[in-house]
Structure 1
Amino acid sequence: MALGTPHPPARLPSLPPQPSSSTDTLQVETLNFPPLTKQHVKNCAFSSWHKRYKKLTPRATVIKPVGEGFVQYLLSDGIFLPPEGEPAEWSSDSDFDDDATGLATRIQELGSKTSSSKASQSDSESDDDEEIDWDGEDDANNNDPATAFPDLDKRVREVLADYQAATPKLNWSSPRDATWITTTNSLKCVTPGDVYLILKSSNFITHDLLHPFEDCISTLPSHAASSTPSSSPRNGLPSDEVELILRKWVDFNPSMEFRVFVRRRRILGISQRAENYYEFLEPLRDRLTTLLQGFFDEKLRDTFPDENFCFDAYIPKPEQTKVWLIDINPFAARTDALMFSWVELLRIDPNDPEFTPELRLVSEDEGVHSFSTKPFSAHMVPRDVVDASVQGGGAGIAAFAKKWQEMLEKSGSGAEKDEGERDNRA
Structure 2
Amino acid sequence: MALGTPHPPTRLPYLPSPSSSPPDTLQGEPLNFPPLTKQHVKNCAFSSWHARYKKITPRATIVKPVGDGFVHYLLSDGIFLPPEGERAEWSSDSDFDDDETGLSTSIQELRTKTSSATISLADSESDEEEVNWDEDDDIHKNDPATAFPDLDKRVKEVLADYGAVTPKLNWSSPRDATWITATNSLKCVTPGDIYLILKSSNFITHDLLHPFEDCISTRPPAPAATSSSSSSNSLPSNEIELILRKWVDFNPSMEFRVFVRRRKILGISQRADNYYEFLEPLRGRLSMLIQDFFSEKLCSTFPDENFCFDAYIPKPEQSRVWLIDINPFAARTDALMFSWVELLRLDPDDPAFTPELRLVSEDEGVHTFSTKPFSAHMVPRDVVDASVQGGAGIAAFAAKWRDMLENTAENT
Tell me, yes or no, whether TM beats 0.5: yes
Q: 1:15 to 1:365 in 2, by over 3 A?
A: farther
- Secondary structure of 2:295's counterpart equals helix
- Secondary structure of 2:327's counterpart equals strand
Residue 254 of structure 1: CA displacement?
Answer: 0.2
CA contact (8 A) 2:44 2:171 kept: yes
Q: 1:168 to 1:269 in 2, by over 3 A?
A: same
Out of 226, 236, 239, the residue aligned to residue 237 of structure 2 is 239
1:194 corresponds to: 193
CA distance in 2, matches of 1:246, 1:158: 11
CA contact (8 A) 2:133 2:139 kept: no
Q: Deviations over 1:380-401 (max 9, x none)?
A: 1368999999346989xxxxxx
CA contact (8 A) 1:259 1:273 kept: yes
In the alignment, does 2:317 pair up with 1:319?
yes
Structure with the higher strand share, 1 or 2: 2
Residue 374 of structure 1: CA displacement?
Answer: 1.9
CA distance in 1, matches of 2:285, 2:291: 10
- Secondary structure of 1:281's counterpart equals helix
In the alignment, does 2:267 pair up with 1:269?
yes
Residue 84 of structure 1: CA displacement?
Answer: 2.0
In the alignment, does 2:148 pair up with 1:149?
yes
Residue 210 of structure 1: CA displacement?
Answer: 0.2
Q: 1:250 to 1:241 in 2, by over 3 A?
A: same
Q: Deviations over 1:300-333 (max 9, x none)?
A: 0000000000000000000000000000000000
1:250 corresponds to: 248
Residue 143 of structure 1: CA displacement?
Answer: 3.7
1:64 corresponds to: 64
Gaps of 5+ in 2: 1-8, 14-22, 93-105, 122-131, 385-396, 407-412
Residue 232 of structure 1: CA displacement?
Answer: 3.2
Structure with the higher helix share, 1 or 2: 1
In the alignment, does 2:196 pair up with 1:185?
no
1:77 corresponds to: 77
1:346 corresponds to: 344
Q: 1:382 to 1:166 in 2, by over 3 A?
A: farther
Residue 94 of structure 1: CA displacement?
Answer: 3.7
**Letter paired with 1:34:** P
**Letter paired with 2:177:** A
Cα-Cα RMSD: 3.7
CA contact (8 A) 2:89 2:189 kept: no
1:168 corresponds to: 167
- Secondary structure of 1:302's counterpart equals coil
2:368 corresponds to: 370
Alignment of 1:101-180 (within 5 A): 105-106=115-116, 108-110=117-119, 142-180=141-179
**Letter paired with 1:163:** Y
CA contact (8 A) 2:66 2:238 kept: yes
Identity %: 77
CA contact (8 A) 1:4 1:206 kept: no
CA distance in 2, matches of 1:176, 1:87: 22
CA distance in 2, matches of 1:4, 1:312: 35
1:54 corresponds to: 54
Q: Deviations over 1:128-162 (max 9, x none)?
A: xxxxxxxxxx8677441101000000000000010
2:335 corresponds to: 337
Q: 1:323 to 1:308 in 2, by over 3 A?
A: same
Q: Deviations over 1:152-200 (max 9, x none)?
A: 0000000001000000000000000000001211000000000000000
CA contact (8 A) 1:214 1:232 kept: no
CA distance in 1, matches of 2:10, 2:107: 31
Q: Which moved more, 1:357-366 or 1:371-380?
A: 371-380
Q: 1:17 to 1:339 in 2, by over 3 A?
A: same
Q: Deviations over 1:105-141 (max 9, x none)?
A: 34x14559xxx99659xxxxxxxxxxxxxxxxx8677
- Secondary structure of 2:34's counterpart equals coil
Gaps of 5+ in 1: 6-13, 19-24, 121-137, 396-426
CA distance in 2, matches of 1:343, 1:85: 52
TM-score, normalised with respect to structure 1? 0.74
**Letter paired with 2:237:** S
CA distance in 2, matches of 1:359, 1:368: 20
Q: 1:240 to 1:251 in 2, by over 3 A?
A: same
